[in-house]
Amino acid sequence: MPNTRFLFLFLLGLGAATFPAAETLAQAINRQAVVERHKVVNTTTDSLASLNVGNGAFAMTVDVTGLQSFPEYYAKGVPLGTQSEWGWHSFPNREGYKVEEAQRQYELNGRKIPYTVQVKTPERNKQAVDFLRANPHRLQLGNLGFVLLKKDGSRAGIKDLRELRQELNPWTGEISSHFTLEGTAVDVVTVGHQQTDAVAVQVRSGLVKQGRLKVFLRLPYPTAQWDDVGVNYKDADRHQSTIEWERGNMAVVAHRLDADQYQVIFDWNGKGKLAAGPQPHEFVLTPDGKLDVLEVSARFSPPMTYKLGPLGFAATQKSSVAGWKSFWQSGGAVDFGATADPRAKELERRMILSEYLIRSQETGQFPPQETGLVYNSWYGKPHLEMHYWHAMHYGLWGRTDLLQKSLDWYLRPEIIAGAKAIAQRQGFEGLRWQKMTDNQGREAPSSVGAFLIWQQPHFIYLAELVRRDNHPEAQKKYQELVFATADFMASYPFYEQAKDRYILGKGLIPAQERFKAEETFNPTYELVYWHWALTTAQDWRKRAGLQPNPKYAEVLQKLAKLPEAQGVYLAAESAPDSYTNPEFITDHPSVLGALGMMPGTGQQDLATMRRTFDLVWKGWNWPHTWGWDFPMTSMTATRLGLPDKAVDALLMPIKTNTYLPNGHNFQDDRLRLYLPGNGGLLAAVALMCAGYDGSKTANPGIPQGWKVKWEGLKPMP
């Protein structure tokens, strides 16, 4: 793999000098200038440097040619995916597998509770688990690329391209690509439509008139594997594709996979011809050779009628420019440009490119997967505990309109029914929110996910962010689900009569996924989140004109204290060896989330949290962490009044904190991108600037000597 994955653009040592206090500059921000100084430029065929266009519900990732001409070359980097929020597929359930076959009874706190897990025996049950985890899975909709022919008629490879220069302008969403093939220049502009699931390209090259540049669409078959990078060209007989309709300079390709189907609707300039290509499920558009400019648009959609005109490159480009300008001019903005410390430039780069990536891939009507709309992780399924990191920053950046798009998914009847069924099956009240799920809210078997609980309060947190952002209608819109969420939270804790207290667990796995569910109770972060969410639910009841819920009040009064030993908070009360067991100083240091992700609730002692922070900072096994751990640590540093540590955490030189030239948060060879890290970074920056309820200083996370402009940000709870 290319060396760029290990580039760390930090210059951390240059921030050691003493500067005057951080300043907030009063001048208006030139938003376009801030965004455009972080254009992405590629001059090599780096498989980790691919770029994408998208509208938040549909995205296409392209290689250095501006389309997906060489998808196999990029397969182990940042793949050339084409994905949508509606594009899912299931293999036929011919064996009649049922979710009950993936359930196991656990003896917890004196009663048996069923959980949907990865049972290993008998074989029939294991097969049911494998099927239910893999189905449904998100589809790779197709590879759209250039057929580039050399003078001898052979097909060019990526190494035949010369004079490469590609640029993404985040302000307009345009990707401009230049290369030469055997001395002939090719210039491509790629744009994504912001109102429909389409991409368009304009190609200027003598190769078009010479018949040496064509456009292909190749339709892969789903792999049913944990990931799917869109290059499975096997199993040609298991799916069907045809040119279903053609008229003038438009054509429709239909793709059918078992019970699922979708279309690709093409239009182009001139009098080209779309025909079946030499490979199965391949279609090639050949220009007529009269023009040296080719314009092509491709719309991906579920089955629809053809009573629509051509989309065209010009209309798609206009939509892209207008849509991105509207986005960048909305909500908050931060400008670190006046700061001399070179760390500020890198932080600003990560911030701008994170905004671009999340806006282009994660602003649809469903919770996103960790890898956005690039390639599958966990079969393309969203994990609701990550919805916090994917979406909560919108509430701090004044973009709650985008937050509500995915938050409203929870209001759908099928989602509510799924959450209610889990709670009832396990003997609890209200709604237990799913962890690993799909668009329809179906719970997938997971021996970790089934026991996680920190996704449960997220709905209350996200709804509260919307309400705080001058949305009084949010109270009526979300209150019933806020109460149903809290009903579960009040019924879940176990009452220990001997100690006259409620505990969380046993039968849970904390956000730090290093503990056994059957042994674990009272994790620190979850205790704080439980307290905050139930308190907030009581506030929602008061605004609704309702009396306080007595069960909420009882749990709040008697909820277990935060576990501590030797002057620091433990990961969980059941883990007195939280800092001496090597396994327990890996993964997420979520104990810091108890003051960072969470506000002060009256449970936390700041001196104890400061000692905990210092211990974690010095003693954690940071190479064995995840991308959102660094923003979480930064947020805790900000609330503790440690602005230098807040920046150091965001720029810590650890592999999982790598931000590639395209802005993606690289983790490892399996997760070459990880958008929860990008979302976390945006949340941390907002907190550093706008602070939190009750913060006593401006820019509480900005180091001395830094000069920052910001506008439109909201304080964090």
pLDDT (tens digit per residue) in 78-118: 999 999 999 999 999 999 999 999 999 999 999 999 999 99
Contacts of 524 (CB under 8 A, 6+ apart): 562, 563, 569, 570, 571, 572, 590, 591, 594
DSSP letters spanning 88-112 = EE----TT---GGGGEEEEEETTEE
C-alpha torsion 258→262→267→273, nearest 10? 10
> For the residues 123-148, what does the mean pLDDT come to?
98
pLDDT band at 527 (very low <50, low <70, confident <90, very high): very high
Distances (CA, A) of 385 to 60, 390, 411, 572: 26, 10, 17, 19
Q: Does domain 45-89+136-328 have CATH number 3.40.50.11890?
A: no
The predicted structure's pLDDT at residue 309: 77
The predicted structure's pLDDT at residue 19: 35
Both tokens assigned to 250: 């438009």
Residue 687 has pLDDT above 90, yes or no: yes
pLDDT band at 27 (very low <50, low <70, confident <90, very high): confident
Neighbours of 157 (CB within 10 A): 12
Tell me the C-alpha distance between 109 and 354, whole Å.
44
Tell me the C-alpha distance between 579 and 201, whole Å.
55
Residue 6 has pLDDT above 60, yes or no: no
- Surface-to-core class of residue 686, CB atoms within 10 Å of its CB (0-12 exposed, 13-18 middle, 19+ buried): buried
The predicted structure's pLDDT at residue 13: 30
Helices (H), 563-674: 606-619, 629-639, 643-650
pLDDT band at 310 (very low <50, low <70, confident <90, very high): confident
Q: Torsions phi, psi of 606, nearest 5? A: -65, -35
Task: Give the pairing type, strands 174-181 and 240-247.
Answer: unpaired
DSSP state at residue 170 = T
DSSP state at residue 72 = T
C-alpha torsion 415→417→422→428, nearest 10? 120
DSSP letters spanning 653-698 = --GGGEE-TTS-EE-SSS-S--HHHHHHHHHHHHHHHH-BTT--SS
Tell me the C-alpha distance between 355 and 335, whole Å.
14
pLDDT (tens digit per residue) in 188-242: 999 999 999 999 999 999 999 999 999 999 999 999 899 999 999 999 999 999 9
DSSP letters spanning 491-530 = HSSEEETTTTEEE-BSS-B-SS--S-TTT-B-BHHHHHHH
Tell me the C-alpha distance between 75 and 462, whole Å.
35
The predicted structure's pLDDT at residue 22: 73
Tell me the C-alpha distance between 636 and 612, whole Å.
11
For residue 54, the cross-strand partners are: 59
**Least reliable range by pLDDT among 72-81, 119-128, 287-296, 352-361:** 287-296
The predicted structure's pLDDT at residue 700: 98
Q: Torsions phi, psi of 260, nearest 5? A: -110, 150
The predicted structure's pLDDT at residue 307: 65
82 sits in which H/E element:
strand 82-84
DSSP letters spanning 342-407 = HHHHHHHHHHHHHHHHHHHHS-SSSPPPTTTTTS-SGGG--BGGGHHHHHTHHHHTT-HHHHHHHH
pTM: 0.96
Tell me the C-alpha distance between 429 and 60, whole Å.
42
pLDDT band at 289 (very low <50, low <70, confident <90, very high): confident
542 sits in which H/E element:
helix 524-543
The angle that helices 675-690 and 643-650 make with each other, rounded to 10 degrees, is 160
> For the residues 486-493, what does the mean pLDDT come to?
98
Residues in the chain: 717
